[in-house]
Amino acid sequence: HSGIRQRGSVLIEPGHHAEGFERFYPLPATAEERGPTTATRIQRFVQEAAPLGERACRAAFEQAQATAASITHLVTVSCTGMVSPGLDAQLIERLGLSPDVGRLNLGFMGCHGALNGLRAAQGLLQDSSPGRVLLCCVELCSLHFQYGWDMQKIIANGLFADGAGAVVLGGDEDGDQQGWQLVETRSRLAEDSSEAMTWRVGDHGFEMTLSSEVPRRIRGALRTWVEQWLAEHDLRLGDVRHWAIHPGGPEILRAARQALALPEQASHASETVLAEHGNMSSPTVLFVLERMRREGAAGPCVVLGFGPGLSFEAALLR
């Protein structure tokens, strides 16, 4: 029922199937066991996040025809690992970025983290023109697999995966090399929904709660908010040619489509990414945008993400 055919995990070594995963998460001998401690999981994050992030950044450099020397700012996003010096410092060294590069870390924002990263990058570009910002999102969700039979843990275990995405913004007067121009981002924290979706540090990994109320709240509040925002740009829902919706899961995609009265085809790219990669948290919308770019999609495009809070995030691209 997850809509997922395959997922990636840094714990699964090439050619070894699930053995690496099972070594990290041994079968519990008692019902009270909860697996590795949070410290052990973060240790693995430190080992695995930077190599994965580097691969994503080098792909972004190639696509944007950028060099390490051209990057003036680095924005890193992750909600699955916390350490300092962290991912930003590791990427500066691995990519050969200037030691003077401006750095900004965005943490613990969840599935809409990339949209907050875009907002931060846009602000940096406005304050430091000319400039070029490297945005890198890395999430290792499989490091927070939860033992037990609580239904919310089972759902989280079934949806989330590991992945990294990166994009270079700025440096091109006609828009970035990806074919998109970021017009604006917008954020809204839904009322009376602080427990609808949570992401908290536990003794045995970070623990998620995902209430069945989330789809209902999306159906009830999303359309009015998006319509009012688009109107500020002289746009209506029907003027949006493409929708890059974060595929939090099948019910999230269905709720967003129903709220906005969109046809099923509108979420095709999101559903394909979910099927091929699972929900990788913050990088996932970058995967959706990359698939749409390869298929020749053009603006106006609206990117939507939903995260703890319950919070809505959106970006308008042309």
Please report the pLDDT score of residue 19 as a whole number.
87
Are both 19-169 and 182-317 of the same fold?
A: yes
Q: Which CATH class name applies to 182-317? A: alpha beta
Instruction: Tell me whether strands 301-307 and 182-189 are parallel, antiparallel or unpaired.
Output: unpaired
The two three-digit tokens of residue 59, written as one number: 């792909």
Please report the pLDDT score of residue 141 as a whole number.
98
Please report the pLDDT score of residue 37 as a whole number.
97
Amino acid at 184: E
Superfamily covering domain 19-169? Thiolase/Chalcone synthase (3.40.47.10)
Backbone φ and ψ for 217, nearest 5 degrees, come out as -70, -35
Please report the pLDDT score of residue 176 as a whole number.
44
Please report the pLDDT score of residue 194 as a whole number.
86
Please report the pLDDT score of residue 18 as a whole number.
82
- How would DSSP label each residue in 222-253? HHHHHHHHHHTTT--GGG--EEEE--S-HHHH
With H, G, I as helix, E, B as strand and everything else as coil, classify residue 62: helix
The two three-digit tokens of residue 19, written as one number: 């053995």
Looking up tokens 């929900």 gives: 279
Identify the segments of the chain with pLDDT beneath 50: 173-177
Annotated catalytic residue, options 57, 111, 136, 141: 111
Q: Indicate if 111 belongs to the active site.
A: yes
Give the integer Cα–Cα distance in Å for 162 and 96. 25
Domain borders along the chain are 19-169, 182-317
Give the integer Cα–Cα distance in Å for 40 and 191. 36
Q: Could you tell me which of 89, 92, 45, 36 has the C-alpha nearest to residue 68?
A: 92
